[in-house]
Chain A
Amino acid sequence: MAETTRVSSNGTAPRGPYISVITNRTTNLLIRGAMLFGVGVFLALVLNLLQVQRNVTLFPPDVISSIFSSAWWVPPCCGTASALIGLLYPCIDRRLGEPHKLKREWSSVMRCVAVFVGINHASAKVDFANNVQLSLTLAALSVGLWWTFDRSRSGFGLGVAIALLATLATQLLVYNGVFQYTSPDFLYIRSWLPCIFFAGVITMGNIGRQLALVSAHQQT
């Protein structure tokens, strides 16, 4: 009887068709990646719109053109990056063996996303006296975001590393003349860019961890 008990406990519990599709590991990874990619593209478009909006005139409200006012490759890049980050975070958590414990709920994730959009909003809308002030404020806000929603050392390290990398990449891109910033104050780019990158990394990591958590729930 003990044998059969063991066998039946190893067997999969009955599940609905939808979940059983997700239980496949690779499929699960793909779905998570796709979701993160979608979120990244969406956020990139919306935030880009926010940045563009400062100079947008009242008329004509040509929505399509202002949504896609940036280069076509920016949103896919953001999407890919966010997918990578979102998959990387849970992976690193697992490797380091210190699972993320803080407030693992969807409402917390939503709060995090809202704060991230708010930081972008502030950087786009609020008139700051100078760029140093803007950058310092945004840096403080980003660190506050990390403290509120992440608080893991790995998260901080990864965030800083990716933010630096992304800033470097942007510098290179601008240096090679792929595109330009309106009023560069930090070599070729805006000085608040690393802060935004950092906040974005934290946010995407949060989403990725939550997604991984959900799928882990479904698998057990």
Chain B
Amino acid sequence: MTVRERLRQNISAAFYRHGLLCASYPVPIILFTSASILTCCYPLLKLPLPGTGPVEFTTGVKDYSVPSHEPQGDLGERPDWYRGPPVAYIQQVLVKAAVSPWDSSLVPVDVFRSPLGRVFSLLEEIRNHVYTDRSLETLCLQVTELLPGLRRMQSILPEHGCLLVSPGNYWQNRRDLFDSDPDILKTVHQHEPKGIHTSATLKDLLFGVPGKNTGVSLYSRKRVVTYTITIALSNYDSRFVASLRSRLKQLHPSVNCTLREDHMVHVHFKEEIGIAELIPLVTTYIILFAYIYFSTRKIDMVKSKWGLALAAVVTVLSSLLMSVGLCTLFGLTPTLNGGEIFPYLVVVIGLENVLVLTKSVVSTPVDLEVKLRIAQGLSSESWSIMKNMATELVIILIGYFTLVPAIQEFCLFAVVGLVSDFFLQMFFFTTVLSIDIRRMELADLNRRLPAEAGMPPPPKPGPLRTREAPPPPRPSAHTITLQAPAFRNLRLPKRLRVVYFLARTRLAQRIIMVGTVIWIGILVYTDPAGLRTYLAAQVAEQSPLGEAGLPPHLGVAPVFPGGDPTSTLSVLPAPEPTPLPENQSQGHGASRTGSAPMSSPQISWGSEDEEVWRRLSFRYWPSLFSYYNITLAKRYISILPVIPVTLHLSPQEAVEMRHPQDTQHAPRTSAKTTDIQTDLTLYKVAALGLFAGVVLVLLLFCLYRVLCPRNYGQNGVQHGRRRRGELPCDEYGYSPPVSEISPLLLRGHSMDIECLASDGMLLASCCLAGQIRVWDAQTGDCLTVIPNNGLRRSSSSGCWEHRDGWDPLTPTFDPDGLLGAESRSPVSTAAAGAPDASEYAEPPLRRRATPSRPALFGDQPDLTPLIDTNFGELPSSLTASARGFDFGGLVEKAYKEHEVSPTVHFSPPTPPAPTAPPQRRRSLGDNPVAFPDRISASPGDWDSSVWSMELRGNLIATGRSSGKLELWDAVEGSLRCCNEDGSSGITALAFLNNRIVAARLNGSLDFFTVDTNKPLGLLQYRGPPGRGSVPSSPCYSSEDVISCQLTRSVQCAHQKPITVLRAAAGRVVTGSQDHTVRVYRLEDSCCLFTLQGHSGGITSIYIDQTMVLASGGQDGAICLWDVLTGSRVSHVYGHRGDVTSLVCTNSCVISSGLDDLICIWDRSTSIKLYSIQQEVGCGASLGVISDSLLVTGGHGCVSFWDLNYGDLLQTVYLGQNSEGQHVRQLLVLDNAAIVCDFGSELSLVYVPSVLEKLD
């Protein structure tokens, strides 16, 4: 045993045990898995939202220098983007202005008119500020013109000059325009966009504070006007900025201002996703969804396909989330755009394993216990799963050594994702699968419970099925297992399904609800004052990394006492730590209340004013710069500390321009936090990740060891005892010996098979050559061969001696013997003077050459079982003679004569069977008077072919075209008796109990009684006690002498040839070409009803033990009759052309027609449920195995259909070379086997799981 094999075995065994574990404890395992998913996803909470949130980095102002372009190794805390000069330095002047004290004589406009008016003087001051030789003009960011699409803003935004933005821009920075403006609010609001807007509006842009904080409103209760003057500098000159700051502070001192001025914030903007970029992204997502669709489409044969598909997707998604979470936990920040790499990750991880698992589990034998199925399925796929995983890991490892950071990161994610995906597959998906399969079996169980209720419990079948002891028939309650179907067809009307689906799931309601929720969500999210800005603020607040790198002494937030000047001077290169915002707010609250009495006009400066731009949309800066076609994507800006300016205006001033009063300003608490990004190296992370994976696996292994006992259901055959609370579907104690459907081919006939009969244990078939073979219906062994040549010979020459030749051939007949018989037959015909040697070569030829049946099958070749349907069209001499009324009396008279004379009566009392043949032959030969038909018969008599055959017990009754009725011993192969009372060909036979009913071509109906001379032997059961379990088939032992007596002959049962004959429940039903159906009582041959209702000849009849009678005619109509009253229950037109066969189940009627359509009708309402289109010529073969399983024949195959839904369950191909052959007849045996003939072969198909798990 090589290492590989040993490994393989070990893996397989491990998977087997694991499968047992998962299927045994589904709920704890799912809980455990969910817990681990949540645990692994927990670090994701700290992650910034994926998207375009800006990233910040804070440095001190004092020692600021423009960062160099070269990456510096030692400065690990610097982010990667902090290189080179920024796009611009932003200097903001935050102006808070109030009219104080507020006078009751002032009007609301005065709140903002005069404060806004001050902006012009401030602007003047800033523009004209000069430090040494530098002025603002030399330092500021020069912008050219606006984008072409922004012409309407041309008058407002600066062009060809410094980028300096303030509310004054509304009035072109001209005081006179402002003074003459009658309505300031209108001017401000005329540029606001209507409706929902996401990015910064012009008002935000110019005021520099969120719209509701400006105070420019008639209804403002705070009465403080806040705005900023934003200056974009291209070069940073610290002395100029400092002098500007001191100058403004000096002019407009802010009394209680404690704003820190030592920090400079660099904001890096990520690449925004434009529409152009969105297209490839959308494409990849479309491909992803197509992939998921095509993958999950393959999930089949489970209870809830969608449920499993969902579980598969959940598995993959949560494994991705887990991998991201784990990577974050170990400090690796995803720098890649998550949305972009996500589809590729899914594709790399793939759904394949999940599907393979499902397929493998589903294809295990359905009758096993659920956990055994899971275990077997897992272990059979274990090797391929492990191999695939190893391959993928190797590929990813190779990718890792490309040493490209992005690819390395991708690979790292993929590795962790793969491992976690494997974990989830093994635990989550397998468990879900086990639950699903258990549900499926439960559902099946529930479905068949009502069917069982009315039935006596069937006896338990023996462990070994042999021919002697076949399992008793089970008329209903079957389930079927099926391996991957070739294709599925949903035959229930589509719209009905859709409607049902909608109704069942209340889909419309839910869609509307979800739509509403999504809509509200979008509204909230896109509202400029709503969630989005909040989220952006949150994102900005929360550092992308944990605080792991922070020195502990900085963990306490410094509290600034009011107006402490030293704090502004302190040079702290370290950033201000995150936590404890309440400390700050407390400190500021204290400073506020301490320094400012409530009565005085109050302009307070809180920590939130330090970085007023944080309260704006994070798209504020990008949109401002984008107006000048400057992108901030992947670049950064540096924001200098804000310069506070406080303006107190007296009421007189306000009144001069128009006026204000007292204000209240309730600042919000908002914590400014910045962080240092700590960065563990990639390699450390990789090592840690691997370590964690190993630990996880070890942990699980230990857990498994603890939970799963060692000797737990090792081999799949033993079954656990019933445990309390366990599901009943686990208790199937029965495992059939054969677990998959494999047809058994019965070869031996040299020509096409004409007749087929079975009683459940034996199977008799007759081919065109007249050869009858008897098969064992269980094993498919050929028991007996009854060749035709002897009979033909004897009938043509009148000499019966000949049969010595074939009599000994009985029970074990091998192909050689058959060949011998076949080779003999031409000789015998030649000796008889019959010229048709060629008839053996080509059956159709022979058929056409037969004078008595010209063109019988010429037009309807595939409907051999329904030969009868076309008798009306035949210009046959026999039918013609029988049809005319003139002959009626004559024939009747002849029959009366027959009844008088003891015609065919075999009464030698003594002879034992082996020695019987000569005697019997003699007796037959001694009764020449008994064969009037032979005298009067046409030349076709010698060639009498078998037209109908029945098998009951071990007697085969054959009806021949010559009108002869023969009884053969099925086992011995000997002729037991022969009745030649009728001259017209027997078109149909029914063999019930000890009566045989024969329908003849001339429309007469003969009732025969089969008698044995030993009355006790009549009901003797076949063979040894082991065979005694067959109650309904009496056996005629070979010792008995059997006689067949014509008890009654109904001469003119029908005016035209009888086409169908069925007998059940003590009734004999005949259908004829004369459009009528007649019902006879079997005991006394009394005609009970003549059922009229068809407008064409009757082609098919169904009657069963429950007295259901259905008939179908050439007009395509199907009638249901009440047998007790003879009334017509329903009448539907179902087919174009003849109805070729009819079957009823408890709930529905199944009909097939010449139009190759199989229709399923509801029996009570006569509504067509659905129809199945068959292949050409295969429409007639049809059988029902149980209430829910339909079998149809096709081209070399039989198909199983679910009757309830019309789904194709499985197609079984009968042989490799049988493609071109139709299945023409299909017989369902009691033991759930199907016999069908195609060409010269018979096929015995067992449906193993039909032996359902009742016990």
- A residues near B (Cβ < 8 Å) are 1-6, 8-9, 11, 13-14, 42, 46-47, 49-50, 52-53, 56-63, 66-67, 105-107, 109-111, 113-115, 117-118, 121-122, 125-129, 133, 136-137, 140, 144
Contact = CB atoms under 8 A, between A and B. Distances in A.
B407 A56 contact: no
A58 B272 contact: yes
A2 B407 contact: no
B1173 A126 contact: no
B398 A140 contact: yes
Given A4-B844, A105-B298, A144-B395, 17 more contacts: A2-B842, A2-B844, A4-B862, A8-B1222, A9-B1220, A9-B1222, A53-B276, A56-B276, A57-B629, A57-B631, A58-B631, A62-B276, A109-B294, A110-B290, A111-B347, A117-B280, A137-B402
A115 B347 contact: yes
B279 interface: yes
B1195 interface: yes
16 contacts: A3-B861, A5-B862, A5-B1177, A8-B1222, A9-B1195, A13-B1176, A49-B279, A53-B276, A59-B147, A107-B298, A114-B287, A117-B284, A118-B347, A127-B405, A128-B404, A129-B403
B276 to A, nearest CB: 4
Contact of B288 (A5, A6, A114): A114
B1173 A14 contact: yes
A214 to B, nearest CB: 12
Contact of A127 (B343, B406, B843, B1219): B406
A58 to B, nearest CB: 4
A114 to B, nearest CB: 4
B404 A137 contact: yes
Contacts of B847: 1
Nearest to B346: A114
Contacts of B629: 57, 59
Contact of A125 (B340, B633, B1175, B1220): B340
A58 B632 contact: yes
Interface string B1149-1192: 00000001000000000000000010111000000000000000
Contact of A2 (B622, B1176, B1239): B1239
Contact of A117 (B275, B283, B626): B283
Contact of A114 (B291, B857, B1175, B1222): B291
Nearest to B842: A2
B407 A137 contact: yes
Nearest to B1176: A8
B404 A133 contact: yes
Given A114-B347, A121-B284, A63 B279 contact: yes
B395 A46 contact: no
Contacts of A133: 402-404
B406 A126 contact: yes
A1 B147 contact: no
Contacts of A1: 752, 843-844, 847, 857, 861-862, 864
Contact of B279 (A9, A46, A140): A46
A56 B274 contact: yes
Contact of B752 (A2, A50, A115, A140): A2
Contact of B149 (A46, A60, A122): A60
Contacts of A58: 271-272, 274, 622, 626, 631-633
Q: 6 closest pairs, A vs B, by CB?
A: A110-B291, A4-B861, A107-B294, A106-B294, A58-B631, A61-B274
Given A58-B633, A133-B402, A105 B752 contact: no
Contact of A56 (B277, B344, B406, B857): B277
A50 B276 CA distance: 9
Contact of B1220 (A6, A14, A107): A6
B736 interface: no
Given A1-B861, A115-B347, A8 B1177 contact: yes
Contacts of A53: 276-277, 280
A137 B287 CA distance: 23
Interface string B826-864: 000000000000000011100100000000010001101
Contacts of A9: 1195, 1219-1222
Contact of B631 (A52, A59, A117): A59
A117 B287 contact: yes
A126 B407 contact: yes
Contacts of B291: 107, 110-111, 114
B79 interface: no
A63 B406 CA distance: 27
A81 B1133 CA distance: 56
A117 B290 CA distance: 14
B344 A114 contact: yes
A62 B277 CA distance: 11
A9 B844 CA distance: 17
B295 interface: yes
B277 A122 contact: no
A7 B402 CA distance: 63
B71 interface: no
A114 B907 CA distance: 87
Nearest to A65: B276
Interface in B8-46: none
A13 B1175 CA distance: 6
A41 B857 CA distance: 58
Interface string B259-285: 000000000000110111101100110
A60 B631 CA distance: 10
Contacts of A6: 1220
Contacts of B279: 46, 49, 63, 67
Contacts of B1239: 2, 5
Nearest to A127: B406
B693 interface: no
A111 B350 contact: yes
Interface in B284-305: 284, 287-288, 290-291, 294-295, 297-298
A62 to B, nearest CB: 8
B406 A49 contact: no
Contacts of B844: 1-4
Contacts of A3: 844, 861
A61 B847 CA distance: 82
Contacts of B277: 53, 56
A140 B857 CA distance: 67
Interface in B802-844: 842-844
A33 B496 CA distance: 37
Contact of B404 (A4, A46, A118, A126): A126
A5 to B, nearest CB: 6
A53 B347 CA distance: 23
A85 B1173 CA distance: 38
Contacts of B298: 105, 107
B95 to A, nearest CB: 30
A61 B686 CA distance: 39
Contacts of B626: 58-59
B632 A46 contact: no
A105 B629 CA distance: 48
Contacts of A52: 276
Given A129-B404, A137-B407, A11 B1176 contact: yes
Contacts of A42: 283
Given A2-B844, A66-B276, A60 B147 contact: yes
A3 B340 CA distance: 63
Nearest to A103: B352
A61 B275 contact: yes
A5 B344 contact: no
Contact of B295 (A8, A107, A129): A107
A8 B1177 CA distance: 7
Contacts of A122: 406-407
B344 A121 contact: yes
A46 B276 CA distance: 10
A59 B861 CA distance: 76
A61 B402 CA distance: 34
A46 B343 CA distance: 16
A104 to B, nearest CB: 12
